[in-house]
Structure 1
Amino acid sequence: MKPELREQILTILAEIPPGRVTTYGRIATMTDGATPRLVARALRELPADHGLPWFRVITASRKLADHGGAEEQRRRLVAEGVLFDRRGRAPAELLWP
């Protein structure tokens, strides 16, 4: 991945406000050529001490992606007031931007 593309993704990630979520695809459309998979890859490659709100990025179906950090992601989102319906989806009105 080009460093400038990674930088765009991380800049967008840093802008997601608390209590809101966005999707891999929405982030991709805000860049100069990333795909949702590239966004996911950039998040997977974050160093442990990054401090960016990776947990605010969900799938296009408004669910958590199936990954090892999903329980931590859910815990952090619930702590910010993001509640999931019985099908595991975040409310559409919380999508950013």
Structure 2
Amino acid sequence: MKPALKEQILTILAEIPPGRVTTYGRIAAMTEGATPRLVARALRELPAGHGLPWFRVITASRRLADHGGADEQRRRLLDEGVAFDSRGRVAAERLWP
């Protein structure tokens, strides 16, 4: 991945406000050429202790992606007041931007 593209992804990630979520696809659309998969890759490659709100990024179906950090992601979102419905989806009103 080009460093400039990764920088765009991380800059957008840093802007997601507490209590809100966005999707891999929405972040990709705000960049100059990223795909949702590239966004996911950039998040997987975050170094330990980075402090970026990776947990605010969900799938286009408004669910958590199936990954090793999903339990922590759910906990952090719940701590910010983001609720999940019976199907595991976040309310559309919580989507940013």
Q: Do both proteins adopt the same fold according to a TM-score greater than 0.5, normalized to the shorter chain?
A: yes
CA distance in 2, matches of 1:54, 1:41: 11
**Aligned residues: percent identity?**
86
**Match in the other structure for 1:95:** 95
**Match in the other structure for 2:16:** 16
**Match in the other structure for 1:52:** 52
> Which runs of 5 or more residues in structure 2 are unaligned?
none
**Match in the other structure for 2:67:** 67
TM-score, structure 1 as length reference: 1.00
**Match in the other structure for 1:80:** 80
Report the Cα offset of residue 35 of structure 1.
0.0
Structure 1 ranges of 4+ moved more than 4 A: none
Q: Would you say how many aligned residue pairs link Structure 1 and Structure 2?
A: 97
CA distance in 2, matches of 1:87, 1:67: 17
> Which runs of 5 or more residues in structure 1 are unaligned?
none
Report the Cα offset of residue 11 of structure 1.
0.1
CA distance in 2, matches of 1:89, 1:50: 27
Report the Cα offset of residue 89 of structure 1.
0.1
Report the Cα offset of residue 56 of structure 1.
0.0
